[in-house]
Structure 1
Amino acid sequence: MKILFIHQNFPGQFPHLAPALAARGHEVIGMTDEKNTRAAPVRVVRYKAPDPVPENIGLGRTYAEMTARGYLAARGARALRDRHGFVPDLIVGHPGWGETLFLREIWPKARLLVYAELLYRTHGHDVGFDDEFSPAVDETRFSTIARSAHLIQTLVQADAAISPTQYQAGSFPPELRDKITVIHDGIDTQRVKPDAQAALTLDDGRVLRAGDEVVSFVNRSLEPYRGFPTFMRALPRVLAERPGAHVLMIGGDGVSYGTKPKDAESWKAKMLAEVGDRLDMSRVHFLGRVPYDRYLSVIQLARVHAYLTYPFVLSWSLTEAMSAGKLILASDTEPVRELIRDGENGRLIPFFDVDAWSEGLIRALAGDPDAERLGAAARQTILDGYDLHRHALPRQIELVERVGAGAPRP
C-alpha cells in the first residue's frame, strides 16, 4: 500500500509504526509542519505553518485554528498529488490539530485511520475536577464544547480509529466509539528496564545512584493537570522527615494543558512562592526538559516514582516507570486505575490528599517492604499487555493493513 502519515510534530505517536510498515514493503511518507525539527524515520514532506489566529474571535477560535492548519495541510496534500502523483491507499493521522479535516477532498478514495486520543467533555474529565485551579463555570463548559467540534468531525469522517487506553476510547460517544480499536502505543521493554547501575550527575557535580533515596516526578510541563501543586505541597514534610532524600523533577515551566496561573509567571514559580521557604532547595532539583537518555536514568535510579493526573490523557512516563520496575505512587483517578491496582502493582493515593502523599512518599523512601514485589508486578503488567514488540506493534500493523485494504477491523 501507499500510506501517508500526517502529524504536525511527526513522528508523534508513530515513531515505531511508520518505519515498521515501510519495512514490510509499503510506501510510507510522513507529512508535517515546516517548523517541525524532529528526526523522522521515513521520508517526510512539509506543509506551510499556519499564521496565528486572532484572539478576539471568541469560542470559534479553536475551530478557526484547526481549519487554518487543515487547509494548509490540504494544500500540501494537493501538491503531493498533482506534482508527484502520490495517491495514498490509507491516511493515518492525529486529528488534534485539524490536519486531516480536508484530506478526503484531495484523495476521496483513500481510507482514513485517526488517532483518537481524547474527546473533551463538560462533565467527568478534567472540567470541574479541580475547584481550586480549574473551576467549572459555564464559560469553561462552552469552551470545552467548542474545542471538541473538529475532533468529532474528524472521527465521523474516519473509517476507523485507534486509541491507547480504554479510558481514552471511552471519552467518545457511543455513536463513534464502535470505530475505535484500543491498542497502546507500546513500551520498548528492552530499553526501558530496571538498571541497578543507573546514575545521574547533577549540575553541581553530585552523583545520584540507584538505591539512593530519590523521588522522580516527570511531566511535559509542571502544572495542575499533572498534580504539580499537590506534589509540591507534600514535599516539605517528606524532606523534613527524610533528610537524605532528593527529588528529581522533569518538566518545562510552560503549560501543556489548562492555563497559566493568573498571579505568577509559571506554576513552578507559584508553588515555590507557596512552599519554597519550607524546602531544602539543595535537594529539590528542577531538571527542565531533558534528552531521553537522561530522563531514563532519572526513572531507573529513583526509589519511588510519583505520578498524578486529572481524569485526562495518560502519560507515557507512567508506563515507562512501570516498565523500569519502579515502585509507583499514583493518583487514584480513572485513567490511572486502568493500569495500577492498589497493593498489586503500585499504590494509589487520592489526588488532592497532601498528607497521604507525604506519608506515602516517606514510607517509600524509608524502604517499603513491598517495593520489590510491587515494582516487579508493575513491569510484568507492561510485559503482559503493553510491550511494543510483542503486543502493541503487531496489533497496530494488523489494524493498519486491514483498514487500508478495506477489511473489517480485527
Structure 2
Amino acid sequence: MTLVTERPEPERPGLRQIAYAVGEPATTHATLAATDYHVRTGEAVAAELSRLGRHDRPDVIVGHIGWGGLLFARDAMPGVPLIGYCEYFYNAVGSDLDFDASAVVADAERRRIRMRNAAQLVTLETLDLAYAPTRWQRQQYPRAVRERIAVCHDGVDIAACRPDAEAAFILPDGRVLRAGDPVVTFAARDLDPYRGYPQFMRAAARVARQRPDAVFVAVGGDGPGYGRPRPDGRLWREVMLAETGLAERIVHIPWLAHAELVRLFQVSAAHVYLSVPFVLSWSLLEAMACGCLIAGSATPPVQEVVKHGVNGLLAPFFDEEALASRILAGLAAGAGLTGLRQEARRSVARGYEREACVDRQLGFVMQLAAEEDFVPA
C-alpha cells in the first residue's frame, strides 16, 4: 500500500509513503484562496502519481475529495479506478454557516463557501465510486450527485471502547475518578462554538449549583477549531471561565492519548456532546461504545446517532437550561438509565463497528479492482 501525503505518518509495516509539497499561493483573491490551494495540491499529487505510474501502477486509488488531491488523478492515472471519500459539502443555507441566527453572514463569506466546493464538484465527475461517513453528510451534497454516494463510516473499535466498571482516571492534580463518581465530561479537538463549548460551560454552571459534588472535566485545545478566532483575541476557555466562575470546579485538559480518553469515558456519569450541523465527531461514537450516558444537542448530525430517551438524552443546542437538566438526570439516575447506556453501545455495535465498516470499504476496493473490463467514469 502506498500513501501519497503532504504530512507523512509514523512508519508502519507494509506502508510506503510519498510526500508531496504544495507551492506558494498564486492568488490573493479571498474567494479563490481555497480553490487555489486545492489546484496546487491536485497538481502536486498528480505529479507524484505520474512518477509512480511509470514503475508501480496501483490497482485502485482512494482519496479525500475535499482538499484537491484527486483533482487531476484521472489524468495522471488513466484507467485506474478512483474512489473518493466525501466528508463535507459546504452550504450557505441550512447548515453550519447560518446555524446561529444571531450571527450575520456576509455575502463575501457565502461566495467563499460556494467556491470552496469547486474542487469537490470537479472531482466527483471523475470518480468511479464515492462514499460518505454518515447519511447526513451525504445529504449535504447536491441532489444531482448525491445518488452516487454510498454511506459507510470508518468505524469504531468497540473492543477497545467498552464499559469498564473497574476503570479509573487520574486527574492532573492527582485525584482519582472512578466509575460511579459524579463525573461530567466534555471532549472536542478544540474548545470552540462549533462543538458547543460555551453552551456546555453555561449548563455546567447550572449543574454545579445543584450538585456541589460533581466533577467537570473538559478535554480540548485552545485553537479556533472549526470556527475562527474571537475578534478580541481572547480564548474561549478564558472567556467562559470568567463568565461562569467555574475555575475551581472544572478541570481542563488540552489533550489526551486515546487510551486515556477511553478511560475518561469509562468513568463518566454524563458525557456532553454538542455540535452545530457539521461533521460528526468520532468521540461521540467512542463515548457511546463505552456506555456513556449522552447529553447531546438535538441537531441533525447528532440525531442520526442519538435518539432521545432511547440511547441518550437530547436538548436544543442553545438551551443551556434544558442541557443542564439532561446532565442532572444522568448524575441522579445512577442505574436508572442503564438501559440508555446499554442501547448506546448496541447502537454503535450495530452500525459503526470497525471491522464491519472496514470490510465494506475493502469491498468497494476489491469490487473495482476485480473488474476485468473496467471502464473509468
What TM-score do the two structures reach when normalised by structure 1?
0.86
Task: Please give the per-residue CA displacement for 1:33-77, whole angstroms capped at 9, x wherever unaligned.
Answer: 2x4344546422222332453783210000111111221122222
Query: Which of 268, 274, 290 is the aligned partner of 2:256?
Result: 290
Aligned equivalent of 1:357, options 323, 326, 329: 323
Cα pair 1:319 1:382 within 8 Å, conserved: yes
Say if 1:205 and 1:72 are closer, same or farther in 2 by CA, change over 3 A.
Answer: same
What code does the residue aligned with 2:154 have? D
Distance 1:318 1:334 in 2: 14
* 3-state DSSP of counterpart to 2:284: helix
| 2:185 paired residue number | 216
Selected match of 1:326 from 267, 287, 292: 292
Q: Give the 3 Å change call, closer, same or farther, for CA 40–129 of structure 1 in structure 2.
A: farther
Contact 2:158 2:349 in 1 (8 A): yes
Q: Pick which of 370-379 and 47-56 moved more.
A: 47-56
Aligned AA (2:117):
S
Q: What is the match of residue 107 of structure 2? A: 138
Q: Does 1:36 align with 2:8?
A: yes
Tell me which residue corresponds to 1:3. none
Q: Is the 8 A contact 1:215 1:302 kept in 2?
A: yes
Alpha-carbon distance in 2 for matches of 1:201, 1:274: 27
| Maintained 8 Å contact 2:31/2:108 | no
What is the alpha-carbon distance in structure 2 between the residues aligned to residue 57 and residue 307 of structure 1?
Answer: 37
1:399 to 361, 364, 374: 364
Deviation at 1:97, TM superposition (A): 1.6
Give me the whole-angstrom Cα distance separating, in 2, the residues matched to 1:215 and 1:205.
18
Deviations 1:269-327 (A, max 9, x none): 3323332xx21x23311111211111111111101111000111111011111111111
Question: Does the aligned pair in 2 maintain the 1:238–1:361 contact within 8 Å?
Answer: yes
Residues 132 and 151, structure 2, Cα contact 8 Å, conserved in 1: yes
Question: What secondary structure, in the 3-state scheme, does the structure 1 residue paired with 2:228 have?
Answer: coil
Q: Deviations over 1:194-247 (max 9, x none)?
A: 011111111211111111111111111111111111111112111121111111
Question: Of residues 50, 75, 82 in structure 1, which corresponds to 2:47?
Answer: 75
Q: Give the drift of 1:369.
A: 5.7
Mapped partners of 2:166, 2:108: distance in 1:
51
Partner of 2:88: 118
CA distance in 2, matches of 1:274, 1:38: 41
Matched length: 373
Deviation at 1:149, TM superposition (A): 0.8
Question: Unaligned stretches of 5+ in structure 2?
Answer: none
Residue 91 (structure 1) aligns with: 61
CA pair 258-39 structure 1, distance change in 2 beyond 3 A: farther
Number of the residue aligned with 2:35: 63
Determine the C-alpha separation between the residues in 1 that align with 2:27 and 2:240. 28
Match of 2:72 in 1: 102
TM-score, length-scaled by structure 2:
0.94
Worse-superposed segment, 323-332 or 391-400: 391-400
The 1:320–1:269 alpha-carbon spacing in structure 2 relative to 1, beyond 3 Å, is: same
The residue aligned with 2:173 is 204
Measured in 1, the distance between the counterparts of 2:339 and 2:96 equals 32
Contact 2:66 2:117 (8 Å CA) reproduced: no
1:254 matched to 2:226? The reply is no
1:386 aligns with 2:352: yes
Are 1:67 and 1:98, in contact at CA under 8 Å, matched by a contact in 2?
A: yes
Is structure 2 residue 138 aligned with structure 1 residue 173?
Answer: no
Q: Structure 1 346/182 Cα, relative in aligned 2: closer, same or farther at 3 Å?
A: same
* Structure 1 residue 185, shift from structure 2 partner: 1.2
Equivalent pair of 1:184/1:392 in contact (CA under 8 Å): yes
Structure 1 Cα separation of the partners of residues 12 and 195 of structure 2? 29
1:192 is aligned to 2:161: yes
- Return the alpha-carbon distance in structure 2 between the equivalents of residues 199 and 362 of structure 1: 22
Q: Which residue of 1 aligns with 2:211?
A: 242
In structure 2, what is the Cα distance between the partners aligned to 1:211 and 1:344? Answer: 21
* Cα distance in structure 1, aligned partners of 2:14 and 2:151: 25
| 1-structure distance, mates of 2:24, 2:306 | 40
Provide the C-alpha distance between the structure 1 equivalents of 2:38 and 2:133, rounded to a whole number of angstroms: 23
Alpha-carbon distance in 2 for matches of 1:315, 1:359: 23
Q: Is 1:45 aligned with 2:9?
A: no
**Contact kept in structure 1, 2:222 and 2:254, CA below 8 Å:** yes
Counterpart residue type for residue 30 of structure 1: L
Provide the C-alpha distance between the structure 2 equivalents of 1:41 and 1:260, rounded to a whole number of angstroms: 39
* 2-structure distance, mates of 1:62, 1:287: 32
Which is further off, 392-401 or 209-218?
A: 392-401
In structure 2, give the amino acid aligned to 1:402: Q
Alignment of 1:301-340 (within 5 A): 301-340=267-306
Bigger CA drift: 353-362 or 261-270? 261-270
Alpha-carbon distance in 2 for matches of 1:54, 1:308: 38
